[in-house]
Structures are given as C-alpha cells and as structure tokens.
Amino acid sequence: MAAPEDGEDGNFGKNKRGLPIGFYFAPTDQDLLAILEAKRLGRPLSRAHDAFFHDIRILDFHPAELYEKYANDEEKGYIYFFSKREFPTSSKKRPLRVAEGGAWNSSGAVYKVVKSSKSGGGYDVGHKKTLVFHQRFLGDKEAVKTNWAIQEFTRIIGPQNEVPDLAVYRLYKMRKEGRETPADLAADEAAAAAAMNNRGQQASAAAMALPPPATGLPGGRMMSMADKANMASTSKAYGPSKSSSSQLQQDAAAAAAPPNAAGASNWAPRPCNCQECAPAAGHVQLLTLF
C-alpha cells in the first residue's frame, strides 16, 4: 500500500512513497537482487519497498492489464513485481512464458550480474533476462509483437549455481524513437477510442461465431473489449517477429535500455558458464563496473 500524499497524516516533506521529497526509487540490478534475496528468505521489506513491489502470478495478466492496475505505482517508467517462475517439467530447463493474451518471448541474451570486489574481479549474484510480449488473441493467425517488455531478475545460489523459482520483474514500454511525449500519449488515447468503436461494431458478429481457442493460450479465454481497447491505448503493434540476427540485435538493444537511459554503457560482456544457462547459444556474462 502506498504511503499518504504529502501533507496527509502529518506526512509533510515526503512524497507518496513515504520518501523524502527529492528522493526517488531507481534501483540498480544489484539492488533488485538484494531485495529479491530478502524476499526469498522471508525477511520483511520496508514500508517504502512495499509501496513499489507487488506479489502476483505474472502469467495471469496481459501487460496492458498490469499497467492499468498498477499505473499509480509506476516509478521512472517501471512497475515492479515479485512472481514465481513455473516449469512444465522437473528438469526446469524452460520456464512457462504463455500469458493472458499472448506470450513473453526472449529478446537477446541472458546476462549475469556480477558484484565487483575491492580486491578486483567479482562474483556472480544473479541473472538478468529481457522478454518482449507477443500478443495473440482468439482468432488471430499470428502473434504480433508489442512494445511491452519486462526484465526478469533471478538469484544465483551456492556453489552449484542454483537458480530459485522466485524472481523480481520490472515492466516497462520500449522506446521506438526517443522518450514519449504528451503528444504521443494523446495519439494513444485517440487510437484507443478508434479501437473501442471498431470493437463495438464487431462485437455482435464475434459473439455469434467465436473462433476456436488458439493453441497454447491458457483456458482459451478472450480479453474483454475494454481490455483490448486499453491494449490499443498502451501498446503499439510492430508486426510478426523476425528471426534474423540483425532484428534480434535491434530488439535486444531496444528492450534492454531503461526508459530514461540511452543504454547500459557500463557493461562489458564475457562468456557465461553457469549450470542453468551454459547450453544456451549467445549467452554472455555482463560485468558491472562499480
């Protein structure tokens, strides 16, 4: 639950998160992994942290639904969640990625977050993975890439490099060209209104002849018209995903860069040999320079 607004309950000089005015929540990758470790061990988080992090099953939601539900908790372009990864087999090699209205697809390589030491070098503390949402509703022939993305952070535990199921996620919208402006948001609202009218005209015909459930979608449930309109207002379809290496590199660059940063210029790649990800092609390790 968020802290009161400035001035409420005698909370003068603090923002709605309970932080002093001028302080903002902008955690590093290592910060997020430290918070995740506290959560994993059952340690209570501070009231300020509780205002940012939500416990959910992330596969139950379309990202537009998540954004609509937790928009007031957005901070610097991100919304934060705790969620457990789920696996279809006991080997736990590939987590489930099918969600409401589509699926989360990997974009780029998996990275290791390395905590540097004073003596030089460093040690692995976790993984960072970027995923982009590909939308597919009932009746759609192909999945359509959106500009919704999440970054998934998982801990690395012990000498066997075990990766617990609990993860921390941050949801955001990828930038196409620069930062969004009020004019962009106004255009999104106009698109949402147009989508609502279009959905209304098609609603009666769709109700009389529903297409068969799409393969891989949980429960075959369709999103409501309001949800789809909200999707139109907050997502931009790019078209079917491409498999070329150049497109993959472009996707990774767009997804990995935070909303308010030009790019992660303080990273240096090196090969990763962890137990979970060693078989994955193109998996590299990132060393943070602190």
List pLDDT tens digits, range 189-239. 444 444 444 444 444 444 444 445 444 444 444 444 444 444 444 443 434
- The pTM for the full model equals 0.57
Mean pLDDT computed over 266-270: 40
- Assess whether pLDDT exceeds 50 at residue 111: yes
Mean pLDDT computed over 253-269: 44
Do 163 and 155 meet the contact criterion of CB atoms below 8 Å apart? yes
CA distance 173 to 196: 22
pLDDT at 277: 53
Residue 159 C-alpha from the chain's centroid: 29
Across the chain, mean pLDDT equals 71
CATH number of 8-265: 2.170.150.80
Higher pLDDT, 114 or 223: 114
- Assess whether pLDDT exceeds 70 at residue 84: yes
Mean pLDDT computed over 107-114: 88
